[in-house]
Structure 1
């Protein structure tokens, strides 16, 4: 697999036919149409426990998180987190993915320097599914993923929020989140991203006039 086109899609809901899965599969389809190499994974297939008190890597929960993080997340050029909104935050499975990563980039892990280097420079995105169409319902999650992107020197290139309650109902959202998720998958590795600091060299133009 060419890691430069590798896209990992992580679903934080256990429902294989739910709204988060529907958005995730739309991302997958868009990425495949764009010639990328998407892989869709359900987090509950890999995560069954949380970090304990001062847990070294040799005493991690006996699940498949290490496989997912080391063999799939680290090589990926882009990662899309697909989570339902629970109590205005991400699902426990999705949060555990971020929390458990600490065991591999902390100084207790023998290869932490390599892990830290490979965590950087990714293109990150998010899909959200909620019963509420209220635009602010998912902003706490958006902020958290933005901060993870900043922390890991990666680029958070966008998110899609769809509303629905029954399984698959997000497809009826008139804002067309399924179509937006498909476009997100297609554009993940090339969508324009700007994040200026006070001393960032930049053009006066945001968009390329020739595009």
Structure 2
């Protein structure tokens, strides 16, 4: 686990098509927290970079192995995502799942980590070992509304040997009203940004050595 936030790079990916909406309000809170902790932060709206869903790479890929889809996903993934030490996904909840923009981000990475890409081994290595956070905005307070999304990010993190360190959920619908959520998700999002590289992460297996304590003794 990274022990400090200083000089770390954080990418905040917004999967909402709305500017100045609830997801972007929460994303900006993450940014404030991460910057206060000394990180360099980039915020990106995914739909500024993606214009198409993943296609069949076997027939779509260029002769040199590169993706032939004419949008800016390559820049978002190669330049921003792979170079980041920590990534926070901010998405509204649509039909009990991630927004199409956010899901498409994950799908489109396949073009670059598939064996048919000439640099796939290097890309897989650079996809690994990140600190991952998740921030969700949903109209419903029903706890189960976000469980599928959380599970997906857990599995993505485990698959890429990354650490899924935290989830924040804001309840809101009208543009920007998440700031009025009495559950204080704005503060929680800022705290997630501040703690992204220092928050404790554990995922024990039965045969692993571990202390009988989670937190250091204070007495």
**Would you say same fold, with TM above 0.5?**
yes
> Which residue number in structure 1 is paired with residue 18 of structure 2?
15
Cα separation, 2, equivalents of 1:178 and 1:186: 12
Contact 2:6 2:39 in 1 (8 A): no
> Which residue number in structure 2 is paired with residue 52 of structure 1?
55
> Which residue number in structure 2 is paired with residue 157 of structure 1?
165
Cα separation, 2, equivalents of 1:101 and 1:4: 26
1:76 is the counterpart of 2:79? no
Runs of 4+ in 1 over 6 A off after TM superposition: none
Query: Where does structure 1 lack aligned partners over 5 or more consecutive residues?
Result: none
The DSSP-based 3-state class of the residue aligned with 2:66 is helix
| Aligned-residue CA RMSD (Å) | 1.6
Aligned residues: 210
Query: Where does structure 2 lack aligned partners over 5 or more consecutive residues?
Result: none
TM-score using structure 1 length: 0.95
TM-score using structure 2 length: 0.92
> Which residue number in structure 2 is paired with residue 208 of structure 1?
216
The CA deviation at 1:58 is: 3.2
The CA deviation at 1:76 is: 0.7
The DSSP-based 3-state class of the residue aligned with 2:217 is coil
Contact 2:128 2:160 in 1 (8 A): yes
Contact 1:4 1:77 in 2 (8 A): no
